[in-house]
Structure 1
Amino acid sequence: MTVLIERAGCVGREDELVELTSRLARTPASGSAAVLVLGDPGLGKTALLRGLADRVAPPALTAGAGAWEQDCPGSVLRQLLGEDPPDDPVAAADVLVARAAGEGSADEPRLVLVDDADLADTFSLQAIASALRRHREAPVLVVLAATRSTPFLGEIAADTVRIEGLDVAAVGELAVLRGRVLHPAMAEVLTRHTAGSPRDAVALLDELPPARWARPDTQLPAPAHVRDEVQLALAGCGPEDRALAEALAVLGDHASLGQAAALAGLEDPLSAVDALAAAGLVEITRDHRPRWRTPLVGVAVLATMGARRAADAHQRAAAVVDDEVSRARHLVAATPLPDAELADEVARLAQRRGDEGAWAEAAALYRDSSRLTEDPVRRDDRLIRSVDALVAAGDGMGAAALVPVVESLRETPLRDAVLAYLAILRGRASEAEVRLERAWDIVNADREPETAALIATRHVLHSLALCRGDELVTWADRAISLAGRDSAAGVEAAAIRGLGLAMAGRFEEAHDAYALAARRVGHSAQTQRVTMGRGWLDVLADEPDEARSRLEGVTDPRILGGSTRIAMWALAWLARVQFLTGEGEAALQTVAAGRALATTSGIALVTPLLEWTATETHLLRGSWEEATRTARAAEVGAQGYEIMRVPALLARAHIAEARSDFRAVLRILEPLTQAPAGSALSEPAIWPWAETYAAALVAEGRLEEADEFLRPHETRAREEQHRSAQARLATARGRWHGARGDLDGVRDTFDRALELLDGLPLRYDRARVTFAYGQALRRAGRRRDAEALLSSARDLWDGLGASMYVDAAERELRAGGVRAPRGHRGPVDLTPQEETVAEMVASGLSNREVAAQLFVSPKTVQYHLTRIYAKLGVRSRTELAAMAAEPTEEP
């Protein structure tokens, strides 16, 4: 099977290749070294060594060990040297180093590769060990690849590189190399099925026909080489050993040893466990529970049983397992033909599990029920419901792969609602709108209240993504009325309804609604939905500590059978909380977790929200390239829904603001000023964009426009008594007063802003308000008062790790001049403001950019610049920059 891997290339091992080539490059300075590469059979160790050899020059010395040559002294050395080695391992070591050095430069790195080193003969390993010890200064790297470590290998190699199974992207790349273009969901299935083994993945890609790769719900077999190995191993086992192996294969990974023993009819299964371990089929855990060496072994054991024996075993297994879902799935596996009674039983169980929020189980059960259903209408309905459950579970990729199948079915309200649901999670607002309207038009709510309620809950999610609070509440109430408050649709609607109330500015009602919903769901999978919505509300309502507590508990979709979609929302808002409270590193880690879920689930709706937080965090740190990258990631596909579009625009606007490009800020945020009536975009508590837009208007000198723009937002925030929104808007208003020369207005407004933030752990907002206050006072000539605020802002920014804004605060302090004694200004008597302007202009900033950062007019900058030119005896910006670049003479 090694040939298969070599033909596929060294895919998915770039990190390992980089690490090994880096180690090789260090050998001229560090001396000779050995690295042990460990990995299970089939993971591509041979391909890794070949890929490494292809990257280096001069050519590496290579060898591969074999079990049949272990008793042949020097067999590996003979391959490395191309001739018989000396009889003494020490002499052989000297020859090996000399051969590796060749005729090149003495300090040129050299590479020695040994595959299957755990099978190498002792003499060769002794010679390699002696070579490393006796020639420590030689620039030689020995890479030993092995399936298992041995004491001798561990002694030779000080470092170990472990290789694991390939990830989904690498398996997809392997498929392309084999002439198969897999849907991402199918690549995920193949990766999970083979545990990322390149050998097994390539074998299946070659062995199975193209039709088997069209649907991710297909049952993949074990590759032929695994079936052959397992059949040979089982042939050497006794009847009881084989019976236990078959029982383990039928029951699956989650069964206990006691259940497997009962199915196999064994009173004492431990002897059989030992036998299976000796045959290389299982590994034994600490609690004596056998575990397949790889997942494919269990699949291969089932294949050796044949259809009849496997079906009989599944029938018996249904009486052994202790939960109803496992029982149902064993009965389905034992039933090859349609069975209406069993199909109905499984469908009812699927609905119950869906009602409880265990959507992944519901999806599998609905699919099983569909297979057993003969009536075509009911069969299609159950298949559609299985796709709907996949979407609800957050498996957007798996559901998307089945879209062609669903679209090929006759049109029904349920079909359109399911396709709309998937369109929402993929961020396709127009498609979702059309499908939802069509579904609602053709459903008969009197005859199909359950389906009508489901369509209404999809409208709820659609309205949430469009940020239409009142519309959301209307659809939620309609869903609850149709299905009942305690139904799955009712709970789903209630879990989002509170957010609609908040988006409409009805925060007190929103809190009451969530308190009621939490009491109704108790402790179940639906708890995840209600808790996430409540945590989201806490973020919007200035309650970050409560938000963190709730959101941290629902970020893992595996808990209580929860949903990946809900977990992604929880991660997005948790990252926001962490950013606002000054936990930048934690925020980036949370964003990374959210990105990972987005990649595996295919859900695009939450990505811009994650990347907005990442962008702002990178900006604080002065990481411009990273901020630009994440802002671009936020923009991908963010045109459909407001909940995607607004974070993407904010990310871009904050980059422009940090660059003092206020014209760009206004251009970027202008679309948000056109929000229709009823949109949450006009709610300052929901989206913090209005203060950024207003501050840009002030910076551009458009004071009347700024005043007119701010008034309705200020009124709204004041009526809702939303503290952080009032404080943020007051920052823009304070700047407005400063631009008009109204010092009393500056003080009153900023003091009020800081008072509003008092007691709230919103460190980011407090830093922004304090910094803006200091800027406004410095511009008004109140330098000593400004110094205290700017010093405080600098310390706040420093605590947030905001290096860029620490520099900005230091620049403001220098411009104020309070801390700069005249004797320290140098031979030319520039004022503190002139020194700051000169420094910024010399760094390449335009007059407009300097003015924006110092919060003065461009005319003021030009005035200072004219005086600077005269004092320094220069005539242009270029000469000023050149003077600044000259080294300062020591006194």
Structure 2
Amino acid sequence: MTSQYLRHIHRRLLHRAALHITAAGSGAVLLIAGPEGADRKGALEAVVARLGSHHLHRVALFPWNRDEPGALAALLPTPLADVIVVVDDLQHADERSLRQLISAARHPESTVSVVATVDGPGLDHLATDVLTLPPLTLAETAGYLHAVTGRRIPVARVEEVHAETGGWPGAINALVTAMPEGELWRGVDKRDHLARARELAAAGELPTAELHLNECSPEQDPAEQNNLRGYLALNRGLRRRAHEHLADPGPEPRHRVRSVLLSLVDWDLAAVQAKADTLLLDEARILRLVADAALSGRMPDMSLTPESALDRQRLAMIHGWLALSFDDPLTARERLQHLPGQSVITGVWQDAWLSRTLYVLGEWTTAARVVERGLATSEAHGMELLEPMLLWSGVQIAAMQGDDLLARNYLQRLTLSEDAFLLQSLPAAMGRMIVAANSADLPAALRAGDLLARTVASTDTQHPGFWPWEDVYAQTLIRAGRIDAADDLITATEARHSPSGLVSLMAKNAVPRATIQLQRGDVGAGLRTFEDAVDAILDTPMPAYQSRILFEYGKVLRRHGRRQRADEVLSHAAEIFAQMGASVMVERCAAERRVGGVGLVHHTNPHGLTPQEEQIAALVAEGATNAAVARELSLSTKTVEYHLTRVYRKLGVRTRQELRERLG
């Protein structure tokens, strides 16, 4: 029971660890660390449970093994290859065996990985990753005690246990064992738990607020309890429960404003306006600004002067969000900075939009730090609502910077249940589609795009500047040969977006429009459309969009024989990608330039492939079908088959799997 609970508490740490161990490439050494009482063994078992069908070899070490040369080596499999070695208490390994095991795992072409517990930092320098187990929070301690005893423990007792044990599971186990039968759940706590829950919720301590709320008697101010439960559910991203408690908030203005927030995260903009109109609270007026901006297509008057510091912080957050939506990321960056001492909850909202702003501005290293800060704060304070908005930017940056492990972790976390608000499901679907569209996995990109189309089918989200996704999906449809469907989508999108005059939208929508024109044989119109898009976007401070449009234009120029101009455009794109740290895209620009054969010094291909063959081989190795490669490179399927046959012969392989293995 206890290890099950710990597996839940540390699920993200453990998932990251399992991904690290099973990631393709050279072997890994993962150390699971933590003080006595951290239940390192339970965490080790949880990681092992996530390793699925991998070949595992278990080893347990003891203090006396340290003084026995070769003791660990005698317990290892022979040969030491194609295995994950799982070691409990690696600090007890003898020096000679430890050197042998780590050397095998850290070899560049290793097929050995190690996952082990350790009791301190002494071996950290040998590891590729160290998973340091944190203590349980107060709310997690309550859940752990419930798992251990089978009973809900009064919050006063939970606080005592947490204070005495520091939240370490081993210490909690020892304390519970030493207590007389029933002592843990006895006692009377006469505090006003509802008042305490309200204070904690205002301070952003949402899990602890829920502990106190659960101590309240049903007779104590049921309207306040109901509203607070709805607010906690909203922040946890539990849509049905939030609606159950907040749909009829009653006459109290403080309760009704939470219903305005409920409508906003569901993207019911008309309801936001209608509900806000009945309230005189600054918070309601501030939330209404989003609905006004989206429905009018114009930046609203931001001259409100809220009385409280919290509402001033909320106004700054909304101002930043809207500035980003209306092509002013510089103002957005300024308004989305939050200061020490401000609201934790509003601070996570600011981080969600600040990370997106920094993504657009091309400041990806800082954006990645803001994403992680926001995710850590969200998890610590029970605010799962905003995690998809943070992950939306995080997964794009990780994928384009070549951090496959982090990208996989983020993608896994973007998988939501059906019980999610649109403010969660929409950025989650957008993130998955954009990452898939940037890969050679066309079926995955189409599935993600189709899911996104279904996500927005029942709700109008095409408010210019707020949730732009149609251009990426249209390009995916074009890659799949669904030209008419792409044309229908982008034509409707252009009609909706054109009145806004937003340069970023016009330029991004021009990419599929130009591609459709080219596919239908109107080369002159297609190239002019691309050139206009490039001219427009280069006048903006939005490098993330500039680089992508330049890359798409460069590919088109190269495929239509404009090799000199293509090389210039691709070189410009690569320069911007490099400034953002997008190593994956820098290499894709280089690959296009090599095929074009102008300006870039050719590297020596160790396999003897021509540039065209190399590009086809790389796409096939990434999982693309021949038809997908043909569409990507503007070739016929027969031509792809011809080149692929030559690739197989030169590399001495017979199947796609062998090709992937050969190219590494």
TM-score above 0.5, yes or no: yes
Partners of 1:697 and 1:706 within 8 A in 2? yes
Taking only aligned residues, the RMSD between alpha carbons, in angstroms, comes to 4.7
Of 611, 627, 630 in structure 2, the residue corresponding to residue 851 of structure 1 is: 630
Q: Structure 1: how far apart are the matches of 2:582 and 2:121?
A: 40
Partners of 1:427 and 1:638 within 8 A in 2? no
Partners of 1:659 and 1:849 within 8 A in 2? no
For each residue in 1:535-589, what CA deviation from the matched residue of structure 2 results, as whole angstroms up to 9, or x when unmatched?
22222222222222222224x5xx14x2x22111111112212222223232222
Q: In structure 2, do the counterparts of structure 1 residues 211 and 649 end up closer, same or farther at CA, with 3 Å as the change threshold?
A: farther
Letter of the 1:515 partner, please give it. Answer: S
Q: Which moved more, 1:466-475 or 1:669-678?
A: 669-678
Q: Structure 2: how far apart are the matches of 1:213 and 1:761?
A: 60
After superposition, residues 285-324 of structure 1 pair within 5 angstroms as none
Q: What runs of 5+ residues in structure 2 fail to find an aligned partner?
A: 1-5, 14-32, 45-57, 75-94, 100-119, 125-131
Partners of 2:338 and 2:347 within 8 A in 1? no
Partners of 1:730 and 1:753 within 8 A in 2? yes
2:350 pairs with 1:570: yes
Q: Which moved more, 1:728-737 or 1:836-845?
A: 836-845
For each residue in 1:577-621, what CA deviation from the matched residue of structure 2 results, as whole angstroms up to 9, or x when unmatched?
222222323222222222222222212110111122221111102
Q: In structure 2, do the counterparts of structure 1 residues 57 and 432 end up closer, same or farther at CA, with 3 Å as the change threshold?
A: closer
Letter of the 1:60 partner, please give it. Answer: W
Say which one has the larger Rg.
1
Q: In structure 2, do the counterparts of structure 1 residues 690 and 187 end up closer, same or farther at CA, with 3 Å as the change threshold?
A: farther
Q: In structure 2, do the counterparts of structure 1 residues 459 and 107 end up closer, same or farther at CA, with 3 Å as the change threshold?
A: closer
Partners of 1:675 and 1:682 within 8 A in 2? no
After superposition, residues 812-823 of structure 1 pair within 5 angstroms as 812-819=592-599
Of 425, 430, 437 in structure 1, the residue corresponding to residue 247 of structure 2 is: 437
Q: Structure 2: how far apart are the matches of 1:628 and 1:871?
A: 30
Q: Structure 2: how far apart are the matches of 1:748 and 1:496?
A: 41
Match of 1:417 in 2: 227
Partners of 2:441 and 2:624 within 8 A in 1? no
Match of 1:785 in 2: 565
Q: In structure 2, do the counterparts of structure 1 residues 415 and 46 end up closer, same or farther at CA, with 3 Å as the change threshold?
A: closer
What SS does the aligned partner of 1:615 have?
helix
Partners of 1:436 and 1:458 within 8 A in 2? yes
Letter of the 2:312 partner, please give it. Answer: T
Partners of 1:767 and 1:793 within 8 A in 2? yes
Quote how far apart the aligned CAs of 1:750 are: 2.1
After superposition, residues 222-371 of structure 1 pair within 5 angstroms as 371=192
Match of 1:460 in 2: 260
Q: Structure 2: how far apart are the matches of 1:165 and 1:623?
A: 25
2:507 pairs with 1:538: no
Partners of 1:504 and 1:678 within 8 A in 2? no
For each residue in 1:141-192, what CA deviation from the matched residue of structure 2 results, as whole angstroms up to 9, or x when unmatched?
9xxxxxxxxxxxxxxx99899x998343996797479647778999788546
TM-score (norm 1): 0.55
Percent identity reads 24
Match of 2:88 in 1: none
Q: In structure 2, do the counterparts of structure 1 residues 521 and 166 end up closer, same or farther at CA, with 3 Å as the change threshold?
A: same
Partners of 1:575 and 1:587 within 8 A in 2? yes
After superposition, residues 615-634 of structure 1 pair within 5 angstroms as 615-634=395-414
Match of 1:492 in 2: 283
What SS does the aligned partner of 2:384 have?
coil
For each residue in 1:292-331, what CA deviation from the matched residue of structure 2 results, as whole angstroms up to 9, or x when unmatched?
xxxxxxxxxxxxxxxxxxxxxxxxxxxxxxxxxxxxxxxx
Q: Structure 2: how far apart are the matches of 1:607 and 1:805?
A: 26
After superposition, residues 214-225 of structure 1 pair within 5 angstroms as none
Partners of 1:797 and 1:803 within 8 A in 2? yes
Quote how far apart the aligned CAs of 1:415 are: 4.1
Q: Structure 2: how far apart are the matches of 1:184 and 1:629?
A: 36
Match of 2:303 in 1: 515
Q: Structure 2: how far apart are the matches of 1:428 and 1:465?
A: 11
Match of 1:643 in 2: 423
Partners of 1:738 and 1:780 within 8 A in 2? no
Quote how far apart the aligned CAs of 1:752 are: 2.6
Partners of 1:427 and 1:637 within 8 A in 2? no
Match of 1:598 in 2: 378
Quote how far apart the aligned CAs of 1:642 are: 0.5
Q: What runs of 5+ residues in structure 1 fail to find an aligned partner?
A: 1-7, 16-36, 62-99, 110-136, 142-156, 220-335, 337-367, 372-382, 446-450, 481-489
After superposition, residues 667-678 of structure 1 pair within 5 angstroms as 667-673=447-453
Partners of 2:299 and 2:322 within 8 A in 1? no
For each residue in 1:675-709, what CA deviation from the matched residue of structure 2 results, as whole angstroms up to 9, or x when unmatched?
77994521241112111111112222222222221
Match of 1:292 in 2: none
Q: Structure 1: how far apart are the matches of 2:655 and 2:247?
A: 66
For each residue in 1:460-493, what CA deviation from the matched residue of structure 2 results, as whole angstroms up to 9, or x when unmatched?
111111122232122122222xxxxxxxxx1221
Letter of the 1:757 partner, please give it. Answer: I
Of 634, 639, 642 in structure 2, the residue corresponding to residue 863 of structure 1 is: 639
Partners of 2:594 and 2:611 within 8 A in 1? yes
Of 609, 613, 616 in structure 2, the residue corresponding to residue 837 of structure 1 is: 616
Match of 2:389 in 1: 609
Of structures 1 and 2, the one with the larger relative CO (CA 8 A, separation 6+) is 2
Match of 1:168 in 2: 137
Q: Structure 1: how far apart are the matches of 2:485 and 2:511?
A: 16
Q: Structure 2: how far apart are the matches of 1:508 and 1:882?
A: 56
Partners of 2:39 and 2:170 within 8 A in 1? no
Match of 2:83 in 1: none
Of 552, 556, 564 in structure 1, the residue corresponding to residue 337 of structure 2 is: 552
Q: Structure 1: how far apart are the matches of 2:397 and 2:586?
A: 14
Q: Structure 1: how far apart are the matches of 2:98 and 2:590?
A: 51
Quote how far apart the aligned CAs of 1:875 are: 13
Quote how far apart the aligned CAs of 1:886 are: 8.8
Partners of 1:814 and 1:836 within 8 A in 2? no
Q: In structure 2, do the counterparts of structure 1 residues 708 and 534 end up closer, same or farther at CA, with 3 Å as the change threshold?
A: same
Partners of 2:617 and 2:647 within 8 A in 1? no
Quote how far apart the aligned CAs of 1:45 are: 9.3
Quote how far apart the aligned CAs of 1:885 are: 8.9
What SS does the aligned partner of 1:635 have?
coil
Quote how far apart the aligned CAs of 1:771 are: 0.4
TM-score (norm 2): 0.72
Letter of the 2:211 partner, please give it. Answer: A
